[in-house]
Every structure is written in structure tokens, then in C-alpha cells.
Amino acid sequence: MAITLTENAAKHIRNSIVAKRGGMGLRLGVRKVGCSGLAYTFDVAEAVGSDDRLFEAHDAKVVVDQEALRVLDGSTLDFVRDGFKEVFKVENPNAKSQCGCGESFNV
């Protein structure tokens, strides 16, 4: 089971998450919500718990709990800029469909 980080995602984690907000990296997860059932969550990772997996690339760390990893396995985490909008983007091979607004998905 694995999560891949692009260089852009790693740079944003290092420079904006860790440097400005503290913690050791980014916590990536999922929660039940929206019209399609699940949505991605992003938060500061303070530590790696016993039920967590740690992924490292390009000097950045991402923490994912085992339950979320079942849905996120094989995903690539990127950070993209589109005009004034800056967001983490998850390319998830397990997502079968996405709602019209792009905020939620199902597996």
C-alpha cells in the first residue's frame, strides 16, 4: 500500500505546512460527506500513531491512517495552482465517480 507525492506537493508541505504551521508533515484522510459519499481531508500531522502509515518523498512526510489508506492506496498527491486557487489534488485510482463540483467521490 502506498501514496506517492509529487515534488510540488512535497514543496508545499515543507514550505507551507511544516514551516508555517508546525508539525512533522501533512495528514491525509477521508471523511463521509457530500453527494458522492467521501471527501479528502488535509491537516497538520503532529505525530505518527500506531494505526498510521508514514510516506516520505522529496524531504516531505504524509501520514495516513489505515482505514483511509484502504481508500487512498495507489493515489498520487499533487499541489496545483490555477489562477488564484491553490489546492492539493489527489489522483485516486480507487475513485469510481466524482460529484459535479469535484468535492466528493465514491469508491
- Report the pLDDT value the prediction gives residue 83, as an integer from 0 to 100: 87
pLDDT digits (tens, 9 = 90+) for 56-107: 999 999 999 999 999 999 999 999 998 888 989 999 898 765 655 555 555 6
Percentage of the chain with pLDDT > 90?
Answer: 63
Q: What pTM did the predictor assign?
A: 0.86
Model pLDDT, residue 1: 76
Domain 4-106 annotated CATH 2.60.300.12: yes
Per the model's pLDDT, the better-predicted residue between 16 and 5 turns out to be: 5
Residues 77/3, Cβ–Cβ less than 8 Å: yes
pLDDT of residue 47: 95
Nearest Cα residue to 45 out of 66, 68, 22, 73:
22
